[in-house]
Amino acid sequence: MRIFSASSSSSITRRWFAGVVLSALSTVALAQAAKPHVVVLATGGTIAGAGASAANSATYAAAKVPVDKLLAGLPELANVAKVSGEQVFQIASESFTNEHLLRLGQRVSALSKQADVDGIVITHGTDTLEETAYFLNLTVRTTKPIVVVGSMRPGTALSADGALNLYDAVTVAASKDAAGKGVLVTMNDEIQSGRDVHKHINIKTEAFKSQWGPLGMVVEGKNYWFRAPVKRHTTNSEFNIDDIKALPAVDIVYGYGNMNTTGIEAYGKAGVKALIHAGTGNGSVAAQAVESLKALRASGVQIIRSARVPDGFVLRNAEQPDDKYDWVVAHDLRPQKARILAMVALTKTQDSKELQRIFWEY
């Protein structure tokens, strides 16, 4: 018969307790390791902004809060994913240049190739958020979720929207059901296509809309999907950010009553490769501007008819004889997005018929 002393019993108890603690810690570690890894790339904007007081929701300084503080202010993210942050830029988005687009796209592409990265979130100012989202949608070849997010109010404001928007973005980026749907935008509880979405108003939190409707919604950390994008994107794109070293000059001229041709002629002299005409109505062109645009096309510059109206699309050979003039129509892309697609397309082709095919397909 074995006799246990009090000391040996205490030793057994201590070993048992240590085993329980180690087991619990292992369980926690395994649970954390099993969570998807989402990388947050910060570029600045209102979501990183700060106002003088809580009452300042429209008057504030953008791009002030670094990514580590943004993430530290959302401890709830640890329940969703393993989240790491990287400060790519710290600027207001109206100051985004082609070089910023290329650098950001190359970083997103590199991260998407890492086996230990499951999703990517880009925090961004709202003024050009839609342009960056569309650029990534065209050029980054991955099925992993890429989500662009911003806010309409700085984090210092009453009813600030950035925290929930960022939480939703990480939730979407961490989810398997967001894979293969192209670049997404999460704002105001909605999941929008980076291709379709536009900023429609500048003083409300429901600023981002698509005329074709959102792809889905995020409610309490769960995704609800209602449609899928049908235009070509990401892995189905013929464009690849890894092959693009520079973007050609493409600019926009605005149509209006009593329009003159000064802008058209100035852009021609500046050496643009394509000019987006943001026309009235169905991409209409004022009679006094037609000859200047024709002359620009004859010099080798691509002319792309878009519309300044927020919704609808431009019909080919309606309003203007596009076939006769060898012009391209932007379909349903607003001028700023037509510019993005034209720049990317011109890295591959200078043929107007090919450009028109690309505008139909993307």
The tens digit of pLDDT for each residue in 252-273 reads: 999 999 999 999 999 999 999 9
Is the pLDDT at 18 greater than 60? The verdict is: no
Is residue 29 predicted with pLDDT exceeding 70?
no
**Distance between CA atoms of residues 88 and 120, nearest Å:** 13
Give the C-alpha separation, 281 to 256, whole Å.
10
CA 157 to chain centre: 24
Considering the entire predicted model, what is its pTM?
Answer: 0.90
Q: What is the pLDDT of residue 55?
A: 86
pLDDT, tens digit (0-9, with 9 covering 90-100), for 160-217: 999 999 999 999 999 999 999 999 999 999 999 999 999 999 999 999 999 999 999 9
pLDDT score recorded for residue 66: 96
- Do the Cβ atoms of 283 and 308 come closer than 8 Å? no
Tens digit of pLDDT for each residue in 40-98? 999 999 999 998 888 888 888 998 999 999 999 999 999 999 999 999 999 999 999 99
Is the confidence at residue 225, as pLDDT, over 50?
yes
Which positions are annotated as active-site residues? 46
Asked if residue 130 has pLDDT above 90, the reply is yes
Cross-strand bridge partners of residue 82: 37
Going from the C-alpha of 236 to that of each of 5, 78, 119, 229, 357, the distances in angstroms are 72, 33, 18, 12, 15
**Confidence class of residue 25 from pLDDT cuts 50, 70 and 90?**
very low
Say whether pLDDT at 27 is over 90. no
| CA 175-113-41 angle, 5° bins | 65
281-327 residue pLDDT tens: 999 999 999 999 999 999 999 999 999 999 999 999 999 999 999 99
